[in-house]
Structure 1
Amino acid sequence: MYDTIVGSMTIPITIDGKTEELSVGQANNLSTHGNPEIRKEVFDRLEEAWSEKEELFAKTLNHLAGFRLHVYEKRGWDDFLKEPLEYNRMQKSTLQAMWNAISKHKKPFVDYLNKKAHLLGKDKLDWYDLNAPLSNDDETLSFQEGAQFILKHFHSFSPKMAQFAEKAFEEAWIEAEDRPGKRPGGFCTSFPLSGQSRIFMTYNGSMSNVATLAHELGHAFHSYTLQSMHPLNRNYAMNVAETASTFAESIVSDASVNEAKTAEQRKSLLEAKLQRSVAMFMNIHARFLFESRFYEERKQGIVPASRLNELMVEAQREAYAGAINEVHPRFWASKLHFYITDVPFYNFPYTFGYLFSLSIYAKAREEGASYEEKYMALLRDTAIMPVEELVMKHLGEDITEESFWEKGIQLCIKDVEAFIELAN
Structure 2
Amino acid sequence: MHATQIARHPEGFSASSGTLPVWNLNDLYAGLEDPRIAADLQSAQDAAAAFESRYKNRLAGLSGAELAAAVHEYERISESLGRATSFAQLLFSADSNNPAHGKFYQTMSERVTLINTSLLFFTLELNLLPEADLAAKQQDPALARYAPWLRDLRVFLPHQLSAELEKLLMEKDVTGHAAWSRLFDETTAAMRVPVNGEDLTLSAALNKLSDPERATRQAAGKAVGEAMGRHEKLFALITNTLAKDKEIDDNWRHYPTPASYRNRSNMVEDEVVEALSSAVKSSYARLAHRYYAMKAKWLGLDKLEYWDRNAPLPGDDDRAIPWPEAKEMVLGAYARFNPALAAQIEPFFEQSWIDAAPRPGKSGGAFAHPTIPAAHPYVLMNYHGRTHDVMTLAHELGHGAHQRLAAEQGYLMSGTPLTLAETASVFGEMLTFRSLLDAESDPQRRRFMLAGKVEDMLNTVVRQIAFYQFELKVHAERRTGELLPARIGEIWLEVQTESLGPAFTFAEEYRLFWAYVPHFIHSPFYVYAYAFGDCLVNALYAVYQESADKTAFAGKYTEMLKAGGTLRHKELLAPFGLDASHPEFWQKGLDVIAGFIDELEA
1:126 aligns to what?
Answer: 305
Tell me how far 1:89 sits from its aligned partner.
0.7
Tell me how far 1:92 sits from its aligned partner.
1.6
Which segment is superposed worse, 306-315 or 87-96?
87-96
Whether the 8 Å CA contact 1:154–1:162 is kept in 2: the answer is: yes
Q: Does 1:279 align with 2:462?
A: no
Cα distance per residue 1:160-214 (max 9 Å; x no partner): 2212222111112111113333332111112224432111111111110100011
2:125 aligns to what?
Answer: none
Whether the 8 Å CA contact 2:373–2:404 is kept in 1: the answer is: no
1:180 aligns to what?
Answer: 360
Cα distance per residue 1:89-140 (max 9 Å; x no partner): 1112211221222233233322211111111111122221111111244232
Whether the 8 Å CA contact 1:156–1:369 is kept in 2: the answer is: no
Q: Does 1:385 align with 2:570?
A: no
Which segment is superposed worse, 86-95 or 69-78?
69-78
Q: Trace 1:183-194 onto structure 2 (pairs within 5 A).
A: 183-194=363-374
Match of 1:27 among 196, 205, 208: 205
Normalising by structure 2, report the TM-score.
Answer: 0.66
2:217 aligns to what?
Answer: 39
Tell me how far 1:262 sits from its aligned partner.
2.2
State the AA in 2 paired with 1:119: W
1:111 aligns to what?
Answer: 290
Tell me how far 1:404 sits from its aligned partner.
0.8
Q: Does 1:6 align with 2:188?
A: yes
In 1, distance between residues paired with 2:334 and 2:570? 28
In 2, distance between residues paired with 1:397 and 1:145? 36
Which segment is superposed worse, 65-74 or 376-385?
376-385
Whether the 8 Å CA contact 1:186–1:199 is kept in 2: the answer is: yes
Whether the 8 Å CA contact 2:489–2:512 is kept in 1: the answer is: yes
In 1, distance between residues paired with 2:218 and 2:511? 15
State the AA in 1 paired with 2:583: E
In 2, distance between residues paired with 1:74 and 1:175? 41
1:399 aligns to what?
Answer: 580
Q: Trace 1:154-169 onto structure 2 (pairs within 5 A).
A: 154-169=334-349
1:80 aligns to what?
Answer: 258
Tell me how far 1:224 sits from its aligned partner.
0.7
Which segment is superposed worse, 181-190 or 309-318?
181-190
Tell me how far 1:331 sits from its aligned partner.
2.5
Whether the 8 Å CA contact 1:153–1:255 is kept in 2: the answer is: yes
Provide structure 2 residue ranges, at least 5 long, that are not aligned to the other structure: 1-182
Secondary structure of the residue aligned to 2:369 is strand
Q: Does 1:368 align with 2:547?
A: no
Which segment is superposed worse, 237-246 or 274-283?
274-283
In 2, distance between residues paired with 1:262 and 1:54? 46
In 2, distance between residues paired with 1:278 and 1:288? 14
In 2, distance between residues paired with 1:171 and 1:207? 24
In 2, distance between residues paired with 1:27 and 1:194? 39
Tell me how far 1:78 sits from its aligned partner.
3.4
In 1, distance between residues paired with 2:369 and 2:458? 27
Whether the 8 Å CA contact 1:25–1:202 is kept in 2: the answer is: no
State the AA in 2 paired with 1:131: N
1:338 aligns to what?
Answer: 520
1:215 aligns to what?
Answer: 395
Secondary structure of the residue aligned to 1:11 is strand
In 1, distance between residues paired with 2:469 and 2:495? 6
In 2, distance between residues paired with 1:385 and 1:369? 23
Tell me how far 1:217 sits from its aligned partner.
0.5
Which segment is superposed worse, 259-268 or 147-156?
259-268
Match of 1:247 among 427, 432, 437: 427
2:269 aligns to what?
Answer: 91
Whether the 8 Å CA contact 1:382–1:390 is kept in 2: the answer is: no
Secondary structure of the residue aligned to 1:21 is strand
Tell me how far 1:319 sits from its aligned partner.
1.8
Cα distance per residue 1:30-58 (max 9 Å; x no partner): 22211111111111111111111111111
Which segment is superposed worse, 104-113 or 38-47?
104-113
Match of 1:70 among 237, 240, 248: 248
In 2, distance between residues paired with 1:321 and 1:78? 32
In 1, distance between residues paired with 2:319 and 2:286? 27
Whether the 8 Å CA contact 2:189–2:362 is kept in 1: the answer is: yes
Whether the 8 Å CA contact 2:373–2:410 is kept in 1: the answer is: no
Q: Trace 1:260-299 onto structure 2 (pairs within 5 A).
A: 260-299=440-479
State the AA in 2 paired with 1:352: F
Secondary structure of the residue aligned to 2:505 is coil
In 1, distance between residues paired with 2:519 and 2:575? 30
Secondary structure of the residue aligned to 1:232 is coil
Cα distance per residue 1:206-258 (max 9 Å; x no partner): 11010001111011111011122132211211111111111111111222222
Whether the 8 Å CA contact 1:137–1:265 is kept in 2: the answer is: no
Tell me how far 1:382 sits from its aligned partner.
4.6
Give aligned pairs, total.
Answer: 414
- The structure-2 alpha-carbon separation of the partners of 1:389 and 1:161, relative to structure 1 and needing over 3 Å to count, comes to closer
Tell me how far 1:317 sits from its aligned partner.
1.0
2:326 aligns to what?
Answer: 146
In 2, distance between residues paired with 1:199 and 1:382? 19
In 1, distance between residues paired with 2:184 and 2:449? 33
Provide structure 1 residue ranges, at least 5 long, that are not aligned to the other structure: none
Match of 1:415 among 593, 596, 601: 596
In 2, distance between residues paired with 1:37 and 1:24? 18
Whether the 8 Å CA contact 1:211–1:253 is kept in 2: the answer is: yes
In 1, distance between residues paired with 2:455 and 2:418? 22
Cα distance per residue 1:249-302 (max 9 Å; x no partner): 111122222222422211111011110221133211211111001011111121
Tell me how far 1:322 sits from its aligned partner.
3.1
Whether the 8 Å CA contact 1:100–1:402 is kept in 2: the answer is: no
2:28 aligns to what?
Answer: none
Whether the 8 Å CA contact 1:190–1:220 is kept in 2: the answer is: yes
1:326 aligns to what?
Answer: 506
State the AA in 1 paired with 2:425: S
Which segment is superposed worse, 346-355 or 361-370?
361-370
Whether the 8 Å CA contact 1:24–1:182 is kept in 2: the answer is: no
State the AA in 1 paired with 2:566: I
Runs of 4+ in 1 over 4 A off after TM superposition: none
Normalising by structure 1, report the TM-score.
Answer: 0.93
In 1, distance between residues paired with 2:235 and 2:586? 35
Q: Trace 1:221-240 onto structure 2 (pairs within 5 A).
A: 221-240=401-420
